[in-house]
Amino acid sequence: MPVIKVFPQDVDRKLTEVFARFGYDGASMELLSQATGLKKASLYHRFPGGKKEMAKHVLLNIRAWFLDRVDAVIRDTSRPLDVRLEEALMAISDLFANGDRNCPLRMLSAGSESASFQESIAACFTILSDGFALVATENGLPEDIAKAKAMEAIINIQGSLVLSRAMNDNNIFRTSISAIPKLLGQGN
């Protein structure tokens, strides 16, 4: 008998994908089961709290992912600032499949259970915001301006992603991402 048929990281990836595509209410246990390749009872074995726990688990993963691939990268002062920012932006693009996939944070931030996830979601955005603000500060911008520019960068990411999906044109997302270094004072 197989001990583990599907690796946890693969399950996590698929769960994120389904929640990002259908949102919390649209992501049925049946869909989650098919996507992960685990039967419903097996999903309940791994996540006794059911769908809600799966969503929370996905959000914890994203938070860890942001800390590792954005926060840590940007704070690694042993490398040039522009390279660090570029790498963080590439990681972010990856998370959204270069504009082809909706933001799982946004998709879980609305719906019948949104209140349960609000804290985790806000925490993720704060990590991103602090990272961007640090870049802007290192680029010589005063702190209040840096914070405003950081928010603007996140607004551009989220807004361009919404429009890329709505207009079915991921160039909108790509263009916005490529404008962020300059927005944060890079190359001035």
Q: Could you tell me how many residues of this chain bind its own copies (CB under 8 A)? A: 35
Residue 44 touches its own copies, criterion: CB under 8 A: no
Residues that bind DNA (CB under 7 A): 1-6, 27-31, 37-42, 44-46, 48, 50-52
The closest of 49, 35, 50, 20 to 121, measured between CA atoms, is 20
The closest of 4, 19, 10 to 107, measured between CA atoms, is 19
- Member of 6, 29, 151, 183 binding its own copies (CB under 8 A): 151
Residue span binding its own copies (CB under 8 A) among the ranges 42-50, 66-74, 82-90, 167-175: 167-175
Q: Residue 97 and residue 89: Cα distance in Å, rounded?
A: 12
Q: Following CA atoms 16, 162, 73, 11 in sequence, which dihedral angle do they give, to the nearest 10 degrees?
A: 10
Residue closer to its own copies, measured from CB, 23 or 185: 23
Q: CB of 64: closest distance to its own copies in angstroms?
A: 18
Q: Residue 183 and residue 179: Cα distance in Å, rounded?
A: 6
43 contact partners, CB below 8 Å, separation of at least 6: 29, 32, 33, 36, 54
CB-based contact 129:151 (threshold 8 Å)? yes
Site string for its own copies, 86-115 (x = CB under 8 A): ----------------xx-xxx-xxxx---
Q: Residue 73 and residue 61: Cα distance in Å, rounded?
A: 17
Residue closer to its own copies, measured from CB, 84 or 105: 105
Q: Which of residues 1-30 bind its own copies (CB under 8 A)?
A: 21-26
Residue closer to DNA, measured from CB, 46 or 174: 46
Residue 162 touches its own copies, criterion: CB under 8 A: yes
Residue 154 binding partner per list its own copies, DNA, none, with a CB distance cut-off of 5 to 8 Å that depends on partner kind: its own copies
Determine the Cα angle at 78 with ends 123 and 155, to 5°: 35
Interface residues toward its own copies, by CB under 8 A = 21-26, 102-103, 105-107, 109-112, 118, 121-122, 125, 151, 154-160, 162-163, 165-168, 172, 176
